[in-house]
Amino acid sequence: MEKDNKTANKIVQTYAEDMAKVIEDDQSGLIKKIIREEEGHDKEKKNMSPQSKKNRFFMIASVLFMSISLATLLFFLLRKENSTVPIEQQFTPLIFNDQSTFLEISGLSKDEISQTVLNAINANSVKNGGVQGIYLTENKVPIGLRRFISLIKGNFVPGDNTDFVSDKFLIGAIDNDTKDFFIILKVRTIADIFDSLRAWENKMFFDLHGFFGYDITPESKYLLTANFEDGIVENKNARFLYTKDAQNNKKVSIMYVLADDNSVVITNTEKAVHEIMLRLAASRIKK
C-alpha cells in the first residue's frame, strides 16, 4: 500500500514538473497565448451569461418596453372613438356684408327673437346702402333655416331635402332712407319652393311681422287675412302684401321676389331688392 502512494506522488510530481518545463521552454509564448485566450473566453462567457446582473437588467427592461409598446398599439387599434379632428367648413356669406352681426338667441321666444334682431338693426353703423348680415346662434353655433322656422313657430314648410331648399339663409338689413329688413332663401330651382311660398302667404305676415317692426293691432290685423298680389320688381316676378300709409296710399308691408334661378328675397322695399340683387350677381361672378 505504501508503495502505491509513493508511485502516485511520483506521477503527479512528474506531470507538474513536465508542464513547468514545457512552459519554461515555450520560447515563442504560444502556450501563454493559448492560456490568455482561454481566460478571455471564460470572461466573455461570464459576461454573456443570462445569470449576470447586468444581462438580467437588460432582459427585464427589454420585456418591459415591448409590453408597453404592444399595449399602446392595442389601445389605438381597439379604441371605439375616432380621434380624427373634423375639418370645419369654411364660412361663406350668401352676399357681401358690410357688417356681420352674431346674435345669441338660446332660450328666447319668437317675440324676443324679433326684438333682438330689431335692436341690432337699429344699432348698426353701416353706410348708406350698406348691408348688415345677421346670424342667429344657439350656444355660439349659427342656426339654419329650418331651425329658424321652428324657433319662431313659423308656418313655412321648406321640406327636409336641403338639396331642394338649402338650410343656408341670410337675414339682415339694408340702410337706405329706412333700415329695411330682409331674408334671402337659397333653392335648387324656383320650382322647388314656389308652391311652399304660395302656401305660406296666408301666414307670412303673422310669422314675420315682428321682424318688419309691425305690431298686431286692431288697425293692422286685417293684414293677417289680406291676399298677396302679383307684381314686378327689377324685372323679376314678385308677390306683394299691401297696407296703407297715413295718407291712405298703398304701401308694401311684405313682398317676396324671385330674384334669380336660385334665390328668393323677402323684404319690404324695392331699394332693398335692388341692392341685394346686385350683390347676388356679384357673388355669382366671384364663384
Neighbours of 145 (CB within 10 A): 21
pLDDT surpasses 50 at 78: yes
Average pLDDT over residues 179-183: 96
Taking the C-alpha atoms of residue 230 and residue 30, their distance in angstroms, rounded to an integer, is 121
**CB neighbour list of residue 269: distance below 8 Å, 6 or more residues apart:** 176, 178, 180, 252
CA 264 to chain centre: 28
Taking the C-alpha atoms of residue 38 and residue 21, their distance in angstroms, rounded to an integer, is 21
Taking the C-alpha atoms of residue 200 and residue 137, their distance in angstroms, rounded to an integer, is 24
Of 5-9, 19-23, 281-285, the range with the lowest mean pLDDT is: 5-9
Residues 114/152, Cβ–Cβ less than 8 Å: yes
User: What are the DSSP calls for 200-238, one per residue?
Assistant: HHHHHHHHHTTTTT----TTTGGGGTPPPEEEEETTEEE
pLDDT surpasses 90 at 57: no
The confidence score (pLDDT) of residue 253 equals 95
- For residue 169, which of 136, 195, 140 has the smallest C-alpha distance? 136
pLDDT surpasses 50 at 24: yes
pLDDT band at 69 (very low <50, low <70, confident <90, very high): confident
pLDDT band at 82 (very low <50, low <70, confident <90, very high): very low
Taking the C-alpha atoms of residue 90 and residue 114, their distance in angstroms, rounded to an integer, is 28
The confidence score (pLDDT) of residue 246 equals 72
- For residue 208, which of 168, 154, 158, 256 has the smallest C-alpha distance? 154
Model pLDDT for residues 224-283, shown as the tens digit of each residue: 999 999 999 999 999 999 998 777 788 999 999 999 999 999 999 999 999 999 999 988
What's the chain's length in residues? 287
Of 21-30, 54-63, 190-199, the range with the lowest mean pLDDT is: 21-30
- Hey, where are the domains in the chain? 2-78, 99-286
The proportion of the chain whose per-residue pLDDT surpasses 70, expressed as a percent, equals 72
Average pLDDT over residues 55-79: 70
Residues 245/235, Cβ–Cβ less than 8 Å: no
- For residue 181, which of 121, 223, 123 has the smallest C-alpha distance? 121
Cell 302684401 appears where?
A: 241
Neighbours of 126 (CB within 10 A): 18
Alpha helices in the chain (DSSP H): 2-24, 30-48, 53-78, 110-122, 145-151, 194-208, 270-286
For residue 115, give the C-alpha cell. Answer: 326684438
